[in-house]
Amino acid sequence: MPPDVTAPLRRPALPFLAEYVVVDQPDTMTYVSADQLASWGVNAEEVFVAARANLTGAVLHGVANEPTVVQFMDDGDVYWTSHLLLDGWLARLADQVGGVPVAFAPERGTLIVAADGSPQLSYLFAQVERVYAAAPYAITPVAYVSDEHGHTIPYAAPDGHPMHACARRAEAVLAVTEYARQAATLDHAAELRLVGSTTEGWLTRAVWTRDEPVLLPRADEVQVGDAVRRWAEIEPHLTPAPNVDPPRWHATAWPPG
């Protein structure tokens, strides 16, 4: 949550990411709080629509003859990373990057767009993770593309895809980071770890160290004492925790009974 407001206006945008609205002035940028809506006489949807309409929707000129990497550096006025919220905007960069656009937004001031299939894509995943880890205003190490409706979605790299390991690690790093941020202010929050598997690549593992109630994050697997169980085995015995974002589940005792 931004530190300068107690209840900022927000809504889910992508996994582990939320959309906020700011008022941008020459010398300051302030987050819009939910309680401002009444004084403005508008609802939340109207505010989000107006905020997106204020993005420039800028496009690149020229055509790339081969896969190209384009980096947008924000001077504080353009909000390049927020352009990913505009339906169809990312897809329109296909000619300029020489292929299906793949976008990275490691921190608030940097947007990188490359072509899917580019030989530099694996390098970009690694570079973006380093920037994300060091940035004071980090956003995400995950790559994004447009779906058939123009909506921005996480880059899909299923088993067998050349970028599967890179994409899977990026998703896991984001989950571990965001759950750790949440755990800092949430009682009984179980730890989420990034672990490597020789057969499955990068996985997330929730740690349930003692036989006592905890709040488990969603994970690929759960360490229960010395044993490791798949999430699908554990989940039927859990209860979703209300009003917790990212979501967690109440875990009381294992084995159940």
Q: What was the pLDDT predicted at 185?
A: 94
Tokens of 149: 């409706």
Q: What was the pLDDT predicted at 56?
A: 73
Domain boundaries, the chain: 10-53, 70-156, 172-251
- Whether the upstream peptide bond of residue 255 has omega within 30° of 0, thus cis, is yes
Q: What was the pLDDT predicted at 1?
A: 44
Cα distances (angstroms) measured from residue 31 to each of 25, 76, 82, 167: 11, 14, 14, 31
Q: What was the pLDDT predicted at 75?
A: 67
Among positive and negative, which fits the CA dihedral 189, 190, 196, 201? negative
Among residues 88, 126, 87, 134, the alpha carbon closest in space to that of 104 is found at 126
The pLDDT tens digits along the chain (257 residues) read 444 445 889 999 999 999 999 988 777 888 999 888 988 999 999 999 999 998 876 666 667 777 888 888 876 667 899 999 999 999 999 999 999 999 999 999 999 999 998 999 999 999 999 999 999 999 999 999 999 999 999 999 988 899 999 999 999 999 999 999 999 999 999 999 999 876 778 999 999 876 678 999 999 999 988 889 999 999 999 999 999 999 999 998 777 65
Residues 188 and 196: their CA atoms lie apart, in Å, by 25
